[in-house]
Amino acid sequence: MAGPANKASATVTSHPGSVPVTVLIGQGGSRQWQLAEEVPVNLAYNGQPHVVMMATPRDLEDFARGFSLSEGVLASAAQIADIKVDEVEGGIMINVLTVPKARVAKERQARSLEGRTGCGICGMQRLDQVVRNVRPVKPGFKADPRAIARAFEELPERQIMNRDNKSLHAAAWCAPDGEIRFLREDVGRHTALDKLIGAMAEADADTADGFVVMTSRCSFELVQKTSSVGIPCLATVSAPTSLALDLAGRAGMVLASLSGDGVVLFDTAAPAEALP
């Protein structure tokens, strides 16, 4: 899905997000296939390195904007003056330039280590950096299982890159009736969500008026990211972990997932009990 125009001063265009390869099939046959690109992306603030993440090199301005908000590095997208994206030897450099007097949260700066594709906590150096306090979301959102089911049904057709390479996660923002408004893809589920949050911030979307669906399990990091920007409902293909459910309860969020019975909603007012 096409998103809003980016205001970044540069965009990496030599990476299409997929790489063509030839695969062998049957008895001596072959065909063209697409593999998802995965490259190191170095994210810096005002020239100060912050973290290196493995990501699909598409919608990188959205990633920088969304990561800044979902990880609490910046208080708002308005603190971003410019985003410079450049190809460098071995990967891509993103430099987020902030407006004067903008505060780059020091407690979120100590992540200048490698962040692997599927990991939302790589680069953390202290235990208290891993599970953060969640921000309560605006109360009153009513999750409709039928709307969530509609979004999940629509999701595969909206995953443009995944139709070619079958290996990308997607995060989509949906209206209360289940219509998909924004969608972003990446090899990592956390990065796909950051890209989505960044696209929503650029469009000044009301984060309290809708829900997010994702092609992944519901880990606690996804709950932290969505609650940090006021998203009241997160629906994932697989069920949440007990920690994710507990954090969602603290934030007042609704969690949902697919099952053999269709869409199920989890009672976040009753935190999961540990098994003996």
So what's the pLDDT on residue 28?
Answer: 81
**Which residues have C-beta within 8 Å of that of residue 157, sequence separation ≥ 6?**
none
pTM: 0.85
119, 122, 174, 233: which one is catalytic? 119
Averaged pLDDT, groups of 10, the chain, 276 residues long: 41 63 84 88 95 95 98 96 96 97 74 47 49 85 96 95 87 98 96 98 97 95 96 96 93 94 83 44
Residue 122 annotated as catalytic: no
CB atoms within 10 A of CB 211: 26
So what's the pLDDT on residue 268?
Answer: 77
Task: List domains and CATH numbers for the chain.
Answer: 18-129 (3.10.20.10), 145-266 (3.40.140.10)
So what's the pLDDT on residue 233?
Answer: 97
So what's the pLDDT on residue 125?
Answer: 47
| Cα–Cα nearest to 185, from 37, 7, 11, 8 | 37
- Give me the long-range contacts of 81-89 (CB less than 8 A, separation at least 24): 82/7, 82/8, 82/9, 83/6, 83/7, 83/8, 83/9, 84/8, 84/9, 84/10, 85/8, 85/10, 85/11, 85/12, 85/60, 85/61, 86/10, 86/12, 87/12, 87/14, 88/42
So what's the pLDDT on residue 48?
Answer: 94
So what's the pLDDT on residue 133?
Answer: 78
